[in-house]
Structure 1
Amino acid sequence: MDFVSKHIVEPGQSVKLKSLETEPQGPFESKAEARAFTDQMVGKLCELQYRLHVEGRQSLLVILQAPDAAGKDGVIRKVLGRMNTQGVRTYPFKVPTEIERAHDFLWRVHQCTPGAGQISIFNRSHYEDVLVVRVEDLVPKSVWSKRYEMINQFEALLAERGTRILKFYLHISSGEQLERFKERLDVPAKHWKLNLSDYRAREKGAKYREAYEDAFRKCSTKDAPWFVIPADKKWYRDAAVSAIVCETLKEMDPQLPKVDIDLAEVRRAYEHEKAELQRELKGQGKS
């Protein structure tokens, strides 16, 4: 399956979340098959991320947005977080601090974007400033309505610098979300996730869907596309995200630097040192 074309939001496309599936439709015959596929993709991701890090020219920004309990943390833990952490950083964006509120809305985000050779993962992002602030009426429409173009310009700036951007919306049904809320109630180890604001957000579900739909239509671009991923089944969610990230890194085609050294000379030096070590060990009575 071409996960990219199946789930991408084309530039200017109008999306109605109510009409999009939250349950996966193929291509896996079982959960085990999907998980094996994800493991395979993660293996390729690790190889490509190594090449990206060593090449040191390009970078990747992965943005995760979703209703609560849709699985942002799960995607990070099961897929993206399995890459080498020397070249990968995860940034969870929570309620802005007093210092962050004293700056423009992109200030706290810009300093977390990936440098050359690195990957940044945003758990929530600058899109909260056209989602939460809009639905919760934290700033007037005259303020948040201008931010779509600011976001597009910001992401275009990153792309010009050599950063590829992938934006994922994890699409979970109301029923599945409620089931996961129940699990948080039933499992003591998950009680820390309990929050009454999550239930209040459900009451504004239609408004949040409308806000997301506007963000998709106005901010899905060639250089920074949105993808809507069915998230009721965790195994499909993980497989789709891993495949899209893997395909993107393959397109970026990071290259290991050319070796500017006489390999034959290095090999001779190695053989010399090996022979010296063997003579030393033999003199010590060691084989």
Structure 2
Amino acid sequence: MTSDDVLLSEATDRVDSIELTAWAHRLSPGMCPPDPCRSGTAAFDVPAKDHNREAQKMSKVYTGASTSIDGYVSGPDFSGFDKLFAWYEAGDVAFTVPTGAMTVHLTPASAAYFGGLIQATGALVVGRKLYDFTNGWGGQHPMGVHTVVLTHRPLEDNEHFTFVSGGIEEAVAVAQKHAGDKGVGLNSGEIARQAIDAGLVDEIFLDLVPVILGGGTPFFAPGKGYELEGPISVVESSSVTHLRYKVRYGVDAQDGTAAAGLRGGVHES
């Protein structure tokens, strides 16, 4: 790993911690009113099992982040979060997490989109740093689904959390068993980078915010080649556009120019 890789990893770890609250709350169950949730499934359908996997049918795996127009998840010196997440208060649809710890106000379009995403997600994979940062979300992830924690320092498993130390492949496989026919969500950062380098990520979603940060920590970084196909879904809202892309690997990606890569390595984001 080069010095640039180390700096990028350290920066991403810091961004992961700052962005944690957004990830935890935007996927929380019970936040979405019934009507937006129903309409949202058109933008993010509950995924069926993937018949193209080699060994067995498995649920989709996806990750995403709020990103500036020029591709950054934070600005210089970890600035710009007020701009990247302004869309959390851009509407009149109140989303309150089950714990009551946070309420955001989304537009109907954003509420519908994330209502569908909530319905589509059956399990999560996160890193130990995020788990510790939230103190284990008080005993259960706000989304209410089983959460797999990738760590070199595993704790005792319980009904809401499984701790694995065998690598990203094991973490995703365990999460898929818990997810059933629904999808597996990965927190962005090193977890996503390891998964996409291992060819495990099926889709990437970007909450594209109309702001130019001019530098900082990029969502995408040089790594193993792959291509993004799409967008396969576009949801326009106030202060944000929600985009979904399929990820193409191997021969499919080599047919064209790889759009981007995410650097791997063993890290606990």
TM more than 0.5: no
Query: Which structure: greater helix fraction?
Result: 1
TM-score normalised to structure 1 length: 0.30
Structure with bigger gyration radius: 1
Query: Which structure: greater strand fraction?
Result: 2
Relative contact order (alpha carbons < 8 A, sep ≥ 6): 1 or 2 greater?
1
